[in-house]
Amino acid sequence: MSFHLSRRSLLAASALLPLGLHGPAVTAAPSGPYRVGAFTVTPLRDGLFPLEPSMIPAAESQAGQALLKGAGLPAKGPSPEPVNAFLIRRGDRQWLLDAGCGTVLGPGFDRVTAALASEGVRPDQIETIWLTHLHADHAGGLLTPGRLARFANAELVLQEREVAYWSDAGARASAPAALSPMFETVQAVMAAYPGRLRRVSGEAELAPGIHALPLPGHTPGHMGVLIADGPDRLLIWGDIVHSRILQMPHPDWTVIWDTDPTEAIATRRGILDRAAVEGLSVTGMHLATMGRVERASTGYALI
């Protein structure tokens, strides 16, 4: 996500919150919890991000304007998009998938801790935090406003490729302007959690019934998490889409934060196809609800 949210964007997004976006309204309260066999998956809404069409450059088109207008939004945006983390529980075990923005993106966010409290969970009770990737709207919530560790006892788990990318001085020097400030947040996270970072590679088992699913392109080590118990399965796909309105019908439309746009397109198409063929239930960090993917014309729809 961007670090430069204009006052106009924030005010406009706030005014649009009651509007429906091709389904349930995007509000401060997410849907859920979801049951996946013996697992309980609870979305934690950290805030709402005012997504401008310029952040998905192909959306600055007649097709993009038509989709926004069709959703009851201004043709030139913004659209309020959810920023979620997920509390995952089974028995007496409780894990977190991503941590939200914290205070990194300014006012209007940093609600994950309060959402955990409403579930009766303190930050020091989280044993593990799986991170889909290290963008600020996923990792910023790991830090207090004073840039200390918010989760006193948690181990952080990431893909090896993700750690390598954000630790590479050359990658920082060559990063697009939209990504450059995020390296500072990553450095602060690493400093706040010394000795509490575990790297995994590929489709690793994160816990019994929970597996990492590499989904590279948005970042080199971007991953989703597949939760399965008996016949029940739920894929939490991270940032496969930032805008359901724009990217489901146009999976080739990339965001300005993609490290490798070509790879991001291939990954998005691949996982959307898999979800459609296998009938997977899916949700993500920028989806307001859970659904299933269906092919629709040259793109897809979330049902």
CA distance 303 to 300: 10
Q: Would you state the pLDDT for residue 290?
A: 96
Q: What is the amino acid identity at position 86?
A: F
Nearest to 44 by CA among 94, 88, 108, 1: 88
**263-293 residues labelled b (16+ CB within 10 A) or e (exposed):** bbbebbeebbeebbeeebbbbbbbbbbbbeb
Per-residue pLDDT of the chain (303 residues; tens, 9 = 90+): 434 444 344 334 333 333 333 333 455 567 879 999 999 999 999 999 999 999 999 999 999 999 999 999 999 999 999 999 999 999 999 999 999 999 998 888 999 999 999 999 999 999 999 999 999 999 999 999 999 999 999 999 999 999 999 999 999 998 878 788 899 999 999 999 999 999 999 999 999 999 999 999 999 999 999 999 999 999 999 999 999 999 999 999 999 999 999 999 999 999 999 999 999 999 999 999 999 999 998 899 999
Strands 291-296 and 299-302: antiparallel
